Amino acid sequence: MKKVFILGAGLSGLSLAYHLQKRKIVCQIFEREKEIGGLASSKQISGFYLDHAGHLLHFKHKRIFSFVKGLLGNSLIKHKRNASIYSFRRFVPYPFQVSLFALPQKIKEDCLKGFIEAKEKNFVINNFQDWIMKEFGKGIARYFMVPYNQKLWQHDLHDIALDWVNWSIPKPDLEDVINGALGIKNRQFGYNPVFFYPREGGIGLFPESFPVSGKRLFNQSAEKIDLKKHCVLLNNGEVIRYRWLLSTMPLHRLVLSLKDPPGWLLSACKKLEYVSVLNINLGIDRPDVLPFHWVYFPEEDKPFYRIGCPSNFSRTVAPKGTTSLFMEISLKPDQNHDIAALTRECIESLKKCKILRPEDKIVSMYPILLEYAYVIYNSARSATVKKIHAYLNRHHIYSFGRYGSWIYSSMEDAVLEGKSNAERVIQISG
Ligand SMILES: Cc1cc2nc3c(=O)[nH]c(=O)nc-3n(C[C@H](O)[C@H](O)[C@H](O)COP(=O)(O)OP(=O)(O)OC[C@H]3O[C@@H](n4cnc5c(N)ncnc54)[C@H](O)[C@@H]3O)c2cc1C
């Protein structure tokens, strides 16, 4: 069997390589950056370990949990989530929909009334906006669900489909919401009530510990792909000929790198919408600046949709006596952004929310721009991705991973996708 070429050494590419190697299939990984890990990598700057936005390990599958524990063993810390939402100048425990007790009386009443009314109504659900109104009612929609999601997705919620909401958004019943209004919490909500994080070194420890041997070629990106000749032109001018090409680069970018793509494919590519995230990391010269793991910000006057505190995930990611914070801002990719101005605005907002004190000193500041951060589940996504994948598969290109499959998925999903694509390679190669 010929060598399998893999584009990208993020978790999906690493998992594919690992599962192929287990079956003695030779593969070679080409990675655009100078290190492995993709979105799950970490950087060390001025004594702080910085992740590409908050990256916490949570598991749906016992066997993936066992696999990760096998890799990281005692270096994993287990945390009970301590997250909140900053709303009406206070911290409301996450999830908002079952913590109405913490809100001002009038807002609590609106949310409760709206929830009850929605349960009594018949809804036709065509999109995410309709789903929010049905599942949560007018009040929770107005004060949290709609503004938060508009901030995150930067997209009309009427044009967002539903194939991602069930796993990611907690859906309480009436009893839960009433309990939440009374301050009673008797069960856990969401996909990450507990999560894991490396004891030292940031989330980057996870991809680094992946048992993949052999050649990984760094600073080598696929620039042009010739489907007729089965060739990839790399940034260093080298041309590789592939029998099967397994790509984890963003599907959108992959299509744009094809030589002479048909017109319909370029039109389809325009339907692959996404948002970028600017993740601004701060080091502050005071310990325990924030008591939470992370906080959501639905209100329009704060530029970030979420901030987090990595030094609460592991004390070792920030020097003694300091705190590390990250602030995530969702941006439309086709706009120019003034990162310095955004950073100033974010710091001002932290001060207004009394998270930063006037005397606090910022000892480290490092913005990271994630160009492809969240793919938008617009109404065209599902059919468009299927059509593009079918075309690529006919030319022996298999596109997978968070951006190759064009999905909203986790690190655990990336490991699983690597495994299932290894099985696919074994099957197609006979
Ligand atoms: C803001 C944010 C927060 C997140 N938080 C969490 C979390 O808390 N928990 C969780 O489980 N998941 C989280 N995720 C999701 C998680 O990061 C991903 O699911 C996972 O890391 C995806 O791995 P991947 O290998 O599919 O993609 P990537 O990590 O993007 O890897 C793709 C690789 O391909 C390389 N590449 C790109 N183009 C080329 C090219 N032309 N040639 C060669 N190489 C190329 C890239 O450099 C990269 O290394 C989060 C994601 C985001 C955006």
pLDDT in tens, 195-204: 999 999 899 9
pLDDT tens digits along 40-52: 999 999 999 999 9
Lowest mean pLDDT among 20-34, 274-288, 306-320, 387-401: 20-34
Average pLDDT, the chain: 95
Whether the per-residue pLDDT at 1 is higher than 60: the answer is no
pLDDT confidence of residue 214:
66
The distance in angstroms from the start CA to the end CA of the chain is 9
State the closest ligand 1 atom to the C-alpha of 254, by its place in the atom list counted from 1: 41
The pLDDT, as a whole number, for residue 243 is 93
- What per-residue confidence (pLDDT) applies to 298? 98
Q: Which of 85, 90, 58 has the alpha carbon at shortest distance from 192? A: 58
Predicted pLDDT at 191: 85
Structural domains of the chain sorted by starting position, each given as residue range(s) with its CATH number in brackets = 4-36+210-272+380-428 (3.50.50.60), 41-61+70-81+192-201+274-375 (3.90.660.20), 97-177 (1.10.3110)
- By percentage, how much of the chain surpasses pLDDT 90? 90
Which residue from 427, 419, 354, 370 is spatially nearest to 18, judged by alpha carbons?
Answer: 419
pLDDT beyond 90 at 377: yes
Ligand 1 pocket, residue 240 CB under 6 Å: no
By mean pLDDT, which of 155-169, 245-259, 272-286, 385-399 is the weakest?
155-169
Of the given ranges (7-11, 47-51, 110-114, 335-339), which has the lowest mean pLDDT?
Answer: 335-339
Q: Which pLDDT score is estimated for 403?
A: 98
Ligand 1 contact via 11 beta carbon (within 6 Å): yes
Chain segment 206-228, per-residue pLDDT in tens: 999 998 876 677 889 999 999 99
In this structure, the residue with its CA closest to atom 53 of ligand 1 is 373
Average pLDDT over residues 404-415: 97
Q: What is the DSSP string of 190-245?
A: SS-SEEEEESSS-TTHHHHT----S-EETT--EEEEETTTTEEEETTS-EEE-SSE
Query: What confidence tier does 384 reach under pLDDT thresholds 50, 70, 90?
Result: very high
CA of 331 to the centre of ligand 1 (A): 17
Is residue 38 lining ligand 1, measured as CB closer than 6 Å?
Answer: yes
Q: How far is the CA of 7 from the centre of ligand 1 (A)?
A: 12
For residue 133, what pLDDT is reported?
97
Test site for ligand 1: of 39, 61, 154, 397, most ligand atoms within 8 A of the Cβ:
39
Distance CA 182, CA 166 (A): 26
Residue nearest to atom 2 of ligand 1 (CA): 53
In short, whether 118's Cβ falls inside 6 Å of ligand 1 is: no
Atom of ligand 1 nearest to the CA of 402: 26
Q: What whole-number distance in Å separates Cα of residue 281 and Cα of residue 285?
A: 14
> What does the alpha-carbon distance between residue 310 and residue 199 come to, in Å, rounded to a whole number?
11
- Give the atom of ligand 1 at the shortest distance from the alpha carbon of 30: 43
Q: How far is the CA of 181 from the centre of ligand 1 (A)?
A: 38
Task: State whether the beta carbon of 373 lies less than 6 angstroms from ligand 1.
Answer: yes
pLDDT surpasses 70 at 402: yes
Cα–Cα distance for residue pair 190/169, rounded to 1 Å:
7
Q: Is 204 in the pocket of ligand 1 (CB under 6 A)?
A: no
Distance, CA 302 to ligand 1 centroid (Å)?
A: 26
Distance between Cα 404 and ligand 1 center (Å): 10
Q: Which position has the higher pLDDT, 3 or 91?
A: 91
For residue 215, the model assigns a pLDDT of 66
Average pLDDT over residues 47-73: 94
Question: Cβ of 1: how many Cβ atoms within 10 Å?
Answer: 12
Tell me if 7 CB under 6 Å of ligand 1: yes
CA distance linking residue 14 with residue 6, whole number of Å:
9
Would the CB of 248 count as within 6 Å of ligand 1? yes
**pLDDT tens sequence across 143-186:** 999 999 999 999 999 999 998 987 889 899 999 999 999 999 88
* Residues 364, 48 contacting (CB under 8 angstroms): yes
